[in-house]
Amino acid sequence: MAICVTVDDEQQRLQKQNIPHLRELHLMKLNEDEEIIAREELKKYDEEQSELERLDDLDSYKSRMEINDLKEQIKKAEIERESLNKQCEEYRTEHEKKIYKRFNAGVHELSYHFIISRVCE
């Protein structure tokens, strides 16, 4: 399976890979006390970032599950709609047949009365 990697994706990956090296370079420029404080702050930052990524992954998973559930509901609704359309068409056809039969019965009855009235004249 081929993986499509965009320039932006590759750039992000490389930046993420280089962050620890860049941090170390900046930390080396600090005095000892500043370095200790900076490392503590970076540790907190990394923990928060890790938690945010975990939550993002969880939200993404939940969103995908909700989308799949909605797709399934849509599929069921479409099947039900097709079934209802079929029933509606059957009822319409049945109703038209009944109307046609009544109409024909009425025409025959009128014809009968017309013939009788002519004969009786």
Q: Output the pLDDT for position 15.
A: 85
**pLDDT for position 107:** 65
- As a whole number of angstroms, the distance between CA 77 and CA 71 comes to 10
Percent of the chain with pLDDT over 90: 43
Q: Is 32 exposed, middle or buried (0-12, 13-18, 19+ CB in 10 A)?
A: exposed
DSSP state of 30: S
Low-confidence ranges of the chain (pLDDT < 50): 1
Q: Where are the alpha helices (DSSP H) in the chain?
A: 7-28, 32-120
Q: How far apart are CA 51 and CA 17, in angstroms?
A: 19
Residues 6 or more apart whose CB falls under 8 angstroms from that of 23 comprise 42
Residue 2: the pLDDT is 54
Per-residue pLDDT at 101: 81
* 23 CB burial (10 A radius; 0-12, 13-18, 19+): middle
d(CA 40, CA 44): 6
Q: pTM of the predicted model, to two decimals?
A: 0.47
Q: What was the pLDDT predicted at 115?
A: 66
**To the nearest whole number, what is the mean pLDDT of the chain?**
86
